[in-house]
Structure 1
Amino acid sequence: MAHLLRSRVPTWPPPPRGPSGHTHQEHDTGQQCYDLLVIGGGSGGLACAKEAAQLGKKVAVVDYVEPSPRGTRWGLGGTCVNVGCIPKKLMHQAALLGGSLHDASHFGWEVAQPIRHDWRKMAEAVQNYVKSLNWGHRVQLQDRKVKYFNFKASFVNKHTVCGVSKGGKETLLSAEHIVIATGGRPRYPTHIEGALEYGITSDDIFWLKESPGRTLVVGASYVALECAGFLTGLGLDATVMMRSVPLRAFDQQMASLVTNHMASHGTRFLRGCIPLKVERLSDGQLQVTWVDLASDRKDTGTFDTVLWAVGRVPETGSLNLEKAGVRTSPDTQKILVDAQEATSVPHIYAIGDVAEGRPELTPTAIMAGRLLARRLCGQSSDLMDYDNVPTTVFTPLEYGCVGLSEEEAVARHGEDSVEVYHAYYKPLEFTVPERDASQCYIKVVCLREPPRLVLGLHFLGPNAGEVTQGFALGIKCGASYEQVMRTVGIHPTCAEEVVKLRISKRSGLDPTVTGC
């Protein structure tokens, strides 16, 4: 595609002229015309829209949430706010508090036993907070004079979108530039009998009014492990069914430690298994039949809830992208984009989870949206840098990482050129309550040749996100192992263990930290 080779920074062109040479205005066409139209009211789309409006452009946002098969619906803000990062972290925190209550007695606090959790009370508090964020987004758009339409959008042509309201009324919206930021939704394994009829997904779990009870989580993704982790932490019976390896896109040593910790703290795992069907029994429970791939033996179990966490699909199906000439990947159905986030149509862009080859992470979508708005407004030529993006998996023992996994580093540079420094450590707060710290582990992946550039950092332990964020800056700036070692640690913290890493895997020495 020729547009992929262009190097110019796009700016707002003049409005298109009709056959008579007149500029198309709203009263001429019956359409509402904008400088920028954003399709999708998630984190990336909202960030792009607000930035462009602040820079003086006439902007509209079109957003519509198709209810889940279970009928769950939510407001403005996208996946992260409504059915992702925010409610997930709050329920993760609820589970961590349960662990802290158990620890409290060791530190002298008298805590009444038994400790019970009220799902309904937690869910109501989480849902009320999410609703406040929905309202906040509406207010922010209004303050920045961004027009918001609760429409389901589809393309009519390269510059025009048809929005359909809940009542079926159609409105035509045209714009010089269009940004697609529709994100994705959980995948249902529709080939499995009863999957759609009886299962739920992450679109539903955070909006349940009543406890999900005994839950089977199907999948090996971070969504699967995070949900199973907080359910276990809340005192519920949770089982994870995995076809193959957990956290496939992450460092596999770290992934094994994550699941080992979960297994040792009550989460059950069915490894190498795939579900065949889900049936509802007369008592209301769900009976799941599965097969063990190694032995080809079938088995069954009963659960109150089956949660599918088997991947996500981009929200491109109803956009009529072909009418605008926007190309998608035949494999993933995600929209093909270049380094400037442009699609096969130069004035149409795609950001966030809906774009091919982009990390499915809220902060990357937000930054990509803001940078795109600045480029379109001629304020900047900066492109989004997708290298060394940090992230955290909020499993009961959190896993934060930035940069390359050990496997990626070896594949890219060769085993002889890579050095890995590592340590098993015990957080001070684990000592008095005698918590298990056998999976608390850190490794730094470096080039072996001085100054030993840091290629990746992997941290498994409490507050992993908070620890990883700071080191991500150093790695983004090209930190070397020598520079990390010259950094003074803050004592006593878990984060200081990173700057104390002295033992390499290659040495074969015991990496267990002893003493202060």
Structure 2
Amino acid sequence: MTIIRNFVRINFITNPPKQAVSTLLIARRTYSKNGTFDYDLAVIGGGSGGLACAKEAVNNGAKVAVLDYVTPSPQGSKWGLGGTCVNVGCIPKKLMHQAALLGEAIHEATSYGWEIPAVDKVKINWSTLTESVQNHIKSVNWVTRVDLRDKKIDYINGLGEFKDPHTIVATLKNGSTKELTAKNVVIAVGGRPHYPDIPGAVEYCISSDDIFSLSHPPGKTLVVGAGYIGLECAGFLNSLGYPVTVLVRSVPLRGFDQQMARMVTNEMEQKGVHFEYKCVPLSVEKLESGQLKARWFNNETQKQHEDVFDTVLMATGRYALTKQLRLDLAGVSCLSESGKLVAATEQSNVPHVYAVGDVLEGRPELTPVAIHAGRLLARRMFAGGQQQMDYDNVATTVFTPLEYGCVGLSEETAVQRFGTENIEVYHAYYKPTEFFIPQRNIRNCYLKAVALRDAPQRILGLHFVGPVAGEVIQGFAAAIKCGITMEQLSNTVGIHPTVAEEFTRLNITKRSGKDPNPASCCS
């Protein structure tokens, strides 16, 4: 590599700059650090995990290419570089959630003395909202591309697939192909929304791929699915003034603590969201008016129901984008039934093929998880790193109208692992100061700590439903990683008046049967 650098430096002096640059490109194209492949690392997928891995690899001397291509949704939605989180996930979702909170704040402001003319006529302008959200997303897309250019990462806007274990073929937008070789490959393609196999689902329904750039107000909306994506969308749409019905097949927020999930849905119901439980969709039909007639079946009552909506949003899970990769040609066979890669340490059954992010089986489908795993993987590949990704005790938040933040085990999982007699659950309802004026509903402001019963009562999980839950739970996530106990938590002095301090005041256990309601804000 030193010889190549010296040759290019001499050539730059003795030849015109254009020829020197051409020579440099040829040298870079022909030789990677190992001297055999075009690249030391090729990353298939330009989302958070893939980009983090690519950037860290370059920081450690590797030559890297990133392939990324977005196939339009069934409704034609497409977006730029950055993956699900930036374009159709965390970022636009949080902005929509913030818009909903601001709408509530406008109405509450009058109780604090703000004189707002015709507050009863305040409404959202959907076009302005989506335009603002999309403008921010496009700015992030641009910054991401510039960052790749500055780091000398080759960005290929093409759909990648394997030709053999070290060769990738990218199909570009114009239909042409580009072939490259890489010593290592990281699969970071993430996933896309799943559509149920019912008439009209693909033809007429939207998903989270479409809602944040929808060209018209959604109006009366049916959300099919009650996972975190479904509930978050239902929550902000309802708060923005659009009537929402949610179809729940089994339980809301499957995989989360179910007591906390009920708190979330209770709050949403009290805010006007209508839930249809134990229901599965049957069909969606487009009427002459342009509206959609949806039919569903209640497995509990064994009755069929129907209603007419302006929008039907499918939130029935996501599938991994592995089928198009031709993994068999690379020898990768460690796939689950769902099409995700089974890889304990991000390494597939083919030693030089890795995966990070949502494409991994049994891993939290969260952007920070993919980012951290991608960085650690790059350090192991190119910097002699030894640290593996720790997928336990990852904090997360569901951005429903009343947010739910958690870290660690749910109460159900803790009981399953350790037994009821070995678990102590501390819990409390609380009164956020922000809810005093005006008098807002506090029935669902609740938190709990799930701990081992024996001293020193190591905490296994913390759960919080209330304002700014994400901000609250983040700091406690570090404490959980450090093995915090109930004694340490109770000896922590809280910041008053905050909602986060409620964790430091937990002293009533479920086992005791005592009333978990506070006597006052300072009790």
User: TM-score if structure 2 supplies the norm length?
Assistant: 0.92
Query: Aligned-residue CA RMSD in angstroms?
Result: 1.4
Cα deviations across residues 371-416 of structure 1 (Å, max 9, x unaligned)? 0001111342110000100000000000000000000000000000
In the alignment, which of 115, 118, 132 is matched to residue 122 of structure 2?
115
Residue 202 of structure 2, aligned match among 196, 200, 203:
196
Are 1:32 and 1:172, in contact at CA under 8 Å, matched by a contact in 2? no
In the alignment, is residue 284 of structure 1 matched against residue 290 of structure 2? yes
Could you say which residue in structure 1 is the equivalent of 2:472?
Answer: 467
**2:169 maps to which residue?**
162
* Distance of 1:109 and 1:49 partners within structure 2: 50
Matches within 5 A, 1:80-95: 80-95=85-100
CA drift at 1:338:
2.4
8 A contact 2:30–2:38 mirrored in 1: no
8 A contact 1:446–1:453 mirrored in 2: yes
Are 2:523 and 1:512 equivalent residues in the alignment?
no
CA offset at residue 111 of structure 1?
1.5
Aligned 1:204-223 pairs, distance under 5 A: 204-223=210-229
- Counterpart for residue 481 of structure 1: 486
State the 1:234 CA deviation.
0.3
1:7 is aligned to none
Tell me which amino acid in the other structure corresponds to 1:487: T
Secondary structure of the corresponding residue to residue 323 of structure 2: coil
Aligned to 1:153: 160
Residues in 2 aligned to 1:481 and 1:140: alpha-carbon distance in whole angstroms = 44
Question: Superposition pairs for residues 390-429 of structure 1, below 5 Å?
Answer: 390-429=395-434
Stretches of structure 1 lacking an aligned partner (at least 5 in a row): 1-23
Secondary structure of residue in 2 paired with 1:206: helix
Secondary structure at 1:407 match in 2: helix
Take 2:468 and 2:218, find their aligned partners in 1: how far apart are those partners?
27
Residue 261 of structure 1 aligns to a residue whose secondary structure is helix
In 1, distance between residues paired with 2:318 and 2:237? 21
1:328 to partner: Cα distance: 3.8
Aligned 8 A contact 1:87 1:126 in 2? yes
- 2:60, 2:383 within 8 Å by CA — same for their partners in 1? no
Alignment of 1:171-250 (within 5 A): 171-189=178-196, 191-250=197-256
Cα distance between partner residues in 2 of 1:148 and 1:398: 37
- The number of equivalent residue pairs is 490
Q: Does structure 1 residue 435 correspond to structure 2 residue 428?
A: no
Residue 205 of structure 1 deviates from its aligned partner by 0.4
**Are the counterparts in 1 of residues 297 and 305 from structure 2 also a CA contact under 8 Å?**
yes
- CA distance in structure 2 between the aligned counterparts of 1:133 and 1:32, rounded to whole angstroms: 31
Q: Deviations over 1:446-502 (max 9, x none)?
A: 000000000000000000000000000100000001000010000000000000000
Q: For 1:58 and 1:294, how far apart are their aligned partners in 2? A: 58
Structure 2 residues not aligned, in runs of 5+: 1-26
1:137 matched to which residue of 2?
144
Residue deviations 1:38-97 (CA, integer Å, cap 9, x gap): 000000000000011111110010000000000000000000000000000000000000
Counterpart pick for 2:503 among 491, 498, 501: 498
- Counterpart check, 1:322 vs 2:345: no
Whichever residue aligns with residue 402 of structure 1, its letter is V
Write the letter of the residue equivalent to 2:230. Answer: A
Secondary structure class of the residue paired with 2:511: helix
Give SS of 1:490's match.
coil
- 2:12 match: none
Tell me the equivalent position of 2:370: 365
Structure 1 residue 343 and structure 2 residue 356: aligned? no
Name the counterpart of 2:7. Answer: none
Provide the C-alpha distance between the structure 2 equivalents of 1:61 and 1:192, rounded to a whole number of angstroms. 36
Partner-residue secondary structure (3-state), 1:299: strand
How far is 1:269 from its partner? Answer: 0.5
Alpha-carbon distance between aligned partners in 2 of 1:227 and 1:250, rounded to the nearest angstrom: 18
Question: What letter is aligned with 2:89?
Answer: G
Identical positions, percent: 57
Partner secondary structure for residue 202 of structure 1: coil
Within the alignment, does 1:305 sit opposite 2:325 as a pair? no
Residue number in structure 1 paired with 2:8? none
State the distance in 1 between where 2:62 and 2:404 align: 41
Contact 2:452 2:460 in 1 (8 A): yes
Aligned partner of 1:4 in structure 2 is none
